[in-house]
Structure 1
């Protein structure tokens, strides 16, 4: 598990939540702090800036953070914890670290609001692992997540997100599938259908389901409105985007939810 933290004294929400998750699952944990000067840059921008030599880093501060993080994790039941720092953009850092982690915990306010869809969205589309995005790094969410809404449209991204969230769903008190999947479509014709509620039931998770009818332009708003109505403290959904030259651009419902969600999101491309 990977926690991309914004502050180390005190530890920001990503560290707190990731440590709690790792302690619950008995997993390994890596904490990472990205140089603030690089956080606002998308992949193309960060590739154009030369990396400074190791002398630009405060090695003493890094060692202190390393010791502090491992002690912080150990006190909360995580025996295998490591620390690293990055002098690269968020997308590049997550793509690198995602190769050997199975979940990344991020804070939305690690970038300015207007850069969230482009910088964090690009990182989530390209990292290859599910991302748990916390809405405000200064406020801890409830844990474990008690009421979870799943935004379902039948896509491969939605299936991956559901599969990635299974451990969190098993600890929840209530799970609701907001089903906006098209019953028949040209792309999926002739292929086996995936039933999210049946999948969850096979893993001991009882879920309720309601159908919604919406278009692409309003899907994000519908998801967030339903999450508020159902008092959800976590929204699970696929992350959707498109490639644009060397960049990955998040769009549609994903962009709206990234910009406006006030609860944690678990997203998977």
Structure 2
């Protein structure tokens, strides 16, 4: 009689499963072309890692701090010679991308706010790369919060004035058992497969809070089944201080990327409690991959 597989055997790395195809389409929200903005560099370089298609999308400064409900095109946007601007910018962006090893390139000029732009283009992109200071500081949380909640695509958010090569050697993943954090781990899988070290920071109160509430998901076993070398460390923090604790722990691990679910609680509760998403969006000095 054939014996059932043990838990460990079921989740041993499998050569077929471990061969992950990576990202096919990367979207970079470009804020300048002379020189190219950090999101343009990062988006192109990630596309080069996976031989992927990259779309550059320019968002005019007059639109960057608008929420979705305020996204009527400005007079200047309506007066733009869209055909000429898009052709010129496409040629420039294509030359830039190809100089960094990307062969498949598209270009878009948006005339709506970031949230609607990301929701529309995110429908056919695997990853969106953007800068935290895309919107002015006083509007950043509202604009990026709305975009993260509505775009339905994983977003790699770069710190302000990011000028370093994009690397994923040491990845830290915040794990609290939420659906959002499961989605974030799945979205980060292509990058985790490139990492030399992946550490999961597990909420120390997770077992008590989530017992019996949802089907089990073991992030360590899942990542190992895809050939990722991963370890796990507990993280003990109150809900109010979870963002600060997660960021500090990531820095202690010398992480060059932090992965986490975005807005696991209602936006109102996040705002009242100063939630983890809000704190990390405001303070992270490394790229963060967020998924709602």
TM-score relative to the length of structure 1: 0.91
In structure 1, the partner of 2:132 is 108
> What is the 5 A alignment of 1:88-237?
88-136=112-160, 138-180=161-203, 182-185=206-209, 189=212, 191-237=214-260
List gaps (5 residues or longer) in structure 1: none
In structure 2, do the counterparts of structure 1 residues 234 and 50 end up closer, same or farther at CA, with 3 Å as the change threshold? closer
- Gap change, CA 1:258 and 1:112, over 3 Å in 2: same
**Residue 37 of structure 1 corresponds to which residue in structure 2?**
62
CA distance in 1, matches of 2:78, 2:145: 32
Cα distance in 2 for partners of 1:53, 1:112 equals: 19
Aligned counterpart, 1:6? 31
Larger Rg: 2
Moved over 4 A (4+): 50-55, 248-251
Contact preservation (8 Å) 2:29, 2:59: yes
Q: Distance in 1 between matches of 2:287 and 2:77?
A: 35
Task: Kindly tell me the number of residue pairs found equivalent between the two proteins.
Answer: 262
Match of 1:18 in 2: 43
Stretch of structure 1 that moved more, 208-217 or 177-186: 177-186
Gaps of 5+ in 2: 1-25
CA contact (8 A) 1:135 1:261 kept: yes
The normalised TM-score by structure 2 is 0.84
Change over 3 Å in CA distance of 1:200–1:52 after alignment to 2: same
SS state at 2:266 partner: strand
Moved more, 51-60 or 84-93: 51-60
| CA contact 1:19–1:29 (8 Å) conserved in 2 | yes
Structure 1 residue 58, shift from structure 2 partner: 3.5
1:45-97 Cα distance to aligned partner (Å, 9 max, x none): 22xx3554875114433321111011111222211101011111111110111
CA RMSD of aligned residues (A): 2.1
Cα gap change, 1:55 to 1:252, in 2 (>3 Å): closer
Measured after TM superposition, the shift of residue 189 of structure 1 is 1.1
Instruction: Summarize the Cα distance change of 1:16–1:50 in structure 2 as closer, same or farther, 3 Å threshold.
Output: closer
Aligned to 2:284: 261
